[in-house]
Amino acid sequence: MTSYNVLSRGGARSSLRTVLITGVSKGLGRALALEMARHGHAVIGCSRSDDKLAALKSELSDSKHLFVNVDIRVNSSVEELLRMVMEKKGAPDIIVNNAGTINKNNKIWEVPEEEFDAVMDTNVKGTVNVLRHFLPPMIERKQGIIVNFSSGWGRSGAALVAPYCASKWAIEGLTKSVAKELPEGMAIVALNPGVINTDMLTSCFGSSASIYQAPDAWAVKAAAMILNLTRSDNGASLTV
């Protein structure tokens, strides 16, 4: 991957991007937002958590950032996000579909229907809702990078987290298919963030999750990688 500069809205070359990150109020999304902002990029963040979103907004108070309470599982909520973003910022240069959830460790026949639905609605349907609304204005510009967060469990299987594995396998397939639909100048990738000490990892690994890297350390590497993606990466399955 080589670094590249996007065209600013005035037509001049600029290395600063507008980055939309879903699930921005905690974990990887929050760490990535802070790292992007640290390097001067404008962050558009969305989350369902008002309190945590407000806390992040207080840290990133520059007017170039935009934080919105959105439930990506709901199509109309994402549609309203698009309206607001286009009115205030224009189409983003980069989208990071980070928002995700995982089931409690359980054999598939013991996973309640509503828990299975929550995983699929957030991890798969939520990602599709974002693509449905944000891809058209990006396609109109024939420019932009979309990063769909996958997982090592989107390329392998694991006991007790079958719903999560299924959702991330879906993200891998979705990404490769959408890659064939994008025009020249754009790219969509499936990105396995690696193993990071987050609430989701703790739900699987318990206290042993603490031996893995913290989100802020991960974000330094992840941000650099995401910012260096180019159209030549279209359809790739990558790992931080």
Give catalytic residues, as residue numbers: 164
pLDDT along the chain (240 residues), means of 10: 38 74 97 98 97 96 97 98 98 98 97 98 98 98 97 97 98 98 97 90 86 93 98 98
Residue 211 contacts by C-beta under 8 Å, 6 or more apart in sequence?
197
Kindly state the helix (H) or strand (E) to which residue 124 belongs, with its residue range: none
pLDDT the model gives residue 3: 38
Torsion of the alpha carbons at 85, 87, 92 and 97, rounded to the nearest 10: 20
In the block, residue with structure tokens 């026949």: 109
Dihedrals φ, ψ of 112, to 5°?
-60, 150
Alpha helices in the chain (DSSP H): 27-38, 50-59, 75-88, 113-120, 126-141, 162-179, 199-205, 215-227
Q: Which of 33, 15, 37 is nearest to 24 (CA)?
A: 33
Q: Is the dihedral of CA 45, 48, 49, 54 positive or negative?
A: positive
Beta 6-7 vs 18-22: how paired, if at all? unpaired
Q: Distance (Å, rounded) from C-alpha 58 to C-alpha 209?
A: 29
Structure tokens at 73: 């599982």
Q: Distance (Å, rounded) from C-alpha 239 to C-alpha 168?
A: 14
pLDDT the model gives residue 13: 38
Structure tokens at 86: 């286009």
Query: Helices (H) and strands (E) in the chain — how many of each?
Result: 8, 9
Contact 222, 135 (CB under 8 A): no
Contact 89, 18 (CB under 8 A): yes
pLDDT the model gives residue 103: 97
pLDDT the model gives residue 167: 98
pTM: 0.91
